[in-house]
Amino acid sequence: MQFRFKALQRMREPDELDTPLILAAPRGWVAVFVLLIVLAGAVGWSVLGSLPIAVRASGLLTYPMGTAPVQSPYAGTVRQVLVSPGTAVTAGMPLADIGGPGGAERQIASPFGGIVISVGVVTGEVVSVGTTVATVGRSGTSGGHLVAMLFVPESQSVGVRPGEQVDLAVSTAPSSVYGLLRGRISAVSPYPLTQEALDGLLGGNLATATYARVTAPMLVVVRLQQAASTASGYAWTSTNGPLLPLQSQVGVVGTISLGSQRPISFLFGQ
């Protein structure tokens, strides 16, 4: 039987009972202390810190009462189009002249006041009953001021209520350059919007495919904060915002601030 030299040497030496036992090297203690400090910081942050709670939803800028098509109640030939996009109209104001059988001429009038968003006919076109002559943004009594309509999925609408702050990223004004448009929620629909309600609000069935892809959304109306010092007439997170006025039917993405929550509350599912 052979023994290793170091093992035999160890057996010949007396027990070193007075030698202190090293449980960990100094470098190991440093790692333990660092780990404890990080753990204490994480616990303190989870109890004393806060996380912002926000809901993001897409939508568009429009006029307070939505957008509606004005359709022709007559069949005939368009003799004259009397408005163009951007024209302000009042209830009863003529939009186009339609020539009918025997040389009769009828005018198609707007049933409500607002701003013409688009014109659907041209002079000389033959139209039938129900043809969309123009699409009008119904400004109501707002004086032409825009609002943002956001379409929030019903599952994310809990806690969304009037008065909450909203920041809007406008598709035609990059937020990295111009900042975000500021506003506050003025109204929240009590029930999700049906397909018919969306079509009537936005003037066509394109809205259904865009804003109600999975479930019927809740309508959140955001009143924009006005600012006379900016070119757009509205307040932005930057100093001036874009140098051009805002237009209706422009897409936006809104971030609705719902306050904050302690990180530890997520651990208990609150």
CA 71, 77, 81, 82: dihedral to nearest 10 degrees? -80
pLDDT of residue 52: 62
Q: Which pTM does this prediction carry?
A: 0.68
pLDDT of residue 154: 85
Domain spans in the chain, listed from the N-terminal domain onward: 52-65+143-264, 67-137
**Secondary structure, 3-state, 57-104:** EEEEEECCCCEEEEECCCCEEEEEECCCCCCEECCCCEEEEEECHHHC
CA-based nearest residue to 237, from 179, 172, 185: 179
pLDDT of residue 155: 83
Q: What is the distance between the alpha carbons of residues 198 and 217, in angstroms, rounded to a whole number? A: 9
pLDDT of residue 123: 92
Could you tell me which CATH class the domain 67-137 is placed in? mainly beta
- Tokens 């070119």 map to which residue? 231
pLDDT of residue 253: 93
Per-residue pLDDT of the chain (270 residues; tens, 9 = 90+): 555 555 555 555 555 555 555 555 666 667 777 787 887 777 665 666 555 677 889 998 988 888 888 999 989 999 999 999 888 898 899 999 999 877 788 999 999 888 888 899 999 999 999 899 998 888 765 566 889 999 998 888 888 889 999 999 999 888 888 899 999 999 999 988 888 788 777 776 555 566 666 578 889 999 999 988 888 889 998 878 888 888 888 889 999 887 655 655 555 555
pLDDT of residue 110: 92
CATH of 52-65+143-264, one of 3.40.190.10, 2.40.30.170, 3.40.1350.10, 3.40.50.150: 2.40.30.170
Q: Are 238 and 179 in contact (CB under 8 A)?
A: yes
pLDDT of residue 36: 79
Q: What is the distance between the alpha carbons of residues 71 and 93, in angstroms, rounded to a whole number? A: 14
Q: What is the distance between the alpha carbons of residues 95 and 71, in angstroms, rounded to a whole number? A: 10
